[in-house]
Amino acid sequence: MAQAYMTETGSDGSEPEPSRAGLRRRLAELRRDPGIWRRGIVLAAFAVLISLVMILHAELPNDIGNLGSLTETFLPWLGLAVPVLFAAALFRKSATALIAILLTAAVWVNLFGGLVTDKARAGGNLTVATHNVDADNADPAGTAASVAKAGADVLALTELKGSVVPVYEKALAATYKYHSVEGTVGLWSKYPLVASQPVDIKMGWTRAMRATVKTPYGEVAAFVAHLPSVRVKLNAGFTANQRDNSADALGAALAAEPLRRVILLGDLNGTVNDRALSEVTSQLRSTQGASGDGFGFSWPAQFPMARIDQILVRGVTPEASWTLPRTGSDHLPIAARVTVKP
């Protein structure tokens, strides 16, 4: 009996590794199991639904609670369903669910896999940064000092409270010789700024501006914008109509810009996937999508879930894009390095 026990459990009392024959036997049992294809139909259906939402998100209606825009704002997060469903399919021993979930994973990789890798390149002769500093920021001087350390040649700040603007001006004076503030947005630059003026984005007060930055490599039109906030309400869905109208107005201003080199910096309160921003995103290129490392989520700062702060360009080449360390704001600052060709 002792010898038989040793054969079953091994000399140390532990379970032995399954033999190849044992694995083949288990696989054969699974193949003979008629339920392997019938189990997990609900899991498979859910995986197919997620795949369809990712593929056809542009077809989701915005008429009811801006459902399409809400989905597009958090679209990459649908990928979290893949490992959960995969584990459930293994537990259920469902081949049908596993195949459907693998297809869902393939769809996600096709759409977002390129954002996971680091696409930054060497080079670039102009570094820009933008930060929603938060009107209720308890440490504006510290926030200004933090973003100044990024070494940006051009820095855009949004959500500037009028009474605190002098604090930012004083804190940034040593780094930036030139600056201009229009309403609640401002631009600081190491190079001369000319033709600074507000941009009307249909809000009733100034939350966007445009200035010409006279860089050593040529003039660049720099736009700074803070589009209206959006809200998610149980009784109204994704309330973004004012944001959408302002985006259209900003898009018109960008289309009318005579300079061929354009950089848009600011808080657009939306991602580049959001169709409601198409009047803007159809004209410009995202530095994060072209040269970023990862998704570059910027909001909320304590647990970033979406990139609603943007650096978009036209006529210049993105080389790298990244997020900066957290400040006293509820947003993360973001920066990009671009090449301005004469």
Residue-wise pLDDT tens digits, 303-325:
999 999 999 999 999 999 999 99
| DSSP code of residue 56 | S
Going by the DSSP 8-state scheme, the letter that residue 58 receives in this structure is G
Q: Is the pLDDT of residue 238 over 90?
A: no
Q: Specify the pLDDT at position 7.
A: 43
Domain with CATH 3.60.10.10 in the chain: 126-339
Straight-line distance from the first to the last Cα atom of the chain, in angstroms, rounded to the nearest whole number = 88
Reported as a pLDDT band with limits 50, 70 and 90, residue 240 is confident
**Least confident among 72-76, 196-200, 207-211, 310-314:** 72-76
List, in order, residues 6 or more apart from 264 with CB less than 8 Å away.
223, 224, 225, 250, 254, 280, 284, 310, 311, 312, 313
Q: How far apart are CA 216 and CA 167, in angstroms?
A: 29
Q: How far is CA 276 from CA 47, 73, 99, 270, in A?
A: 27, 10, 34, 8
Structure confidence at residue 239 (pLDDT): 58
Predicted confidence at residue 278, as pLDDT, reads: 96
Q: What backbone torsions phi and psi does residue 281 show, to the nearest 5 degrees?
A: -70, -20
**Has residue 159 got a pLDDT over 90?**
yes
326 band by pLDDT with thresholds 50, 70 and 90: very high
CA-to-CA separations, 24 to 17, 31, 157, 201, 300, in angstroms, rounded? 14, 11, 63, 67, 50
* Angstrom distance (rounded) from CA 184 to CA 168: 12
pLDDT at 30: 52
Model confidence at 1, pLDDT cuts 50, 70, 90, reads very low
Q: pTM of the entire structure? A: 0.84
The predicted structure's pLDDT at residue 2: 43
Q: Is the pLDDT of residue 231 over 80?
A: no
For residue 31, the model assigns a pLDDT of 57
Rounded CA-CA distance 66/127 in Å is 35
Phi (first) and psi of residue 169, to 5 degrees: -60, -45
Residue-level pLDDT at 70: 84
The owner of tokens 């970023």 is: 292
* Residues 6 or more apart whose Cβ sits within 8 Å of residue 112: 76, 79, 295
Helix, strand or coil, per DSSP, at residue 122: coil
Strands 262-267 and 218-226, sheet pairing = parallel
How do residues 92-115 score in pLDDT, each as one tens digit?
Answer: 889 899 999 999 999 999 999 988
CATH number, domain 126-339: 3.60.10.10
Here the tokens at position 187 are 């631009």
Whether residue 45 has pLDDT greater than 50: yes
Name the pLDDT band for 6 (thresholds 50, 70, 90).
very low
With a cut of 80, say whether residue 138 has pLDDT above it.
Answer: yes
Mean pLDDT value across the chain: 90
Q: For residue 82, is pLDDT > 80?
A: yes
For residue 78, is pLDDT > 70?
Answer: yes
| Average pLDDT of the residues in 6-12 | 46
Q: Residues with Cβ < 8 Å from 204, sequence gap 6 or more?
A: none
Pick from 241, 233, 190: nearest CA to 215:
190
**pLDDT at site 26:** 57
Cis upstream peptide for 300 (omega within 30°): yes
Question: Is the pLDDT confidence value at 236 over 70?
Answer: no
Of 19 and 14, which is predicted with more confidence? 19
Measured torsion, CA atoms of residues 194, 195, 196, 201, in degrees rounded to the nearest 10: -150
**Cα gap 163→258, rounded to integer Å:** 34
The residues, any chain, with a CB within 8 Å of residue 114's CB and separated by 6 or more, are none
Structure tokens at 12: 């140390």
Phi and psi for 66 in degrees, rounded to 5?
50, 45
Which of the 8 DSSP states describes residue 308?
-
Q: Is the pLDDT of residue 18 over 60?
A: no
Whether the pLDDT of residue 237 is over 50: the answer is no
Percent pLDDT > 70 in the chain is: 88
* Residue 100, CA distances (Å) to 50, 79, 80 in order: 10, 14, 15
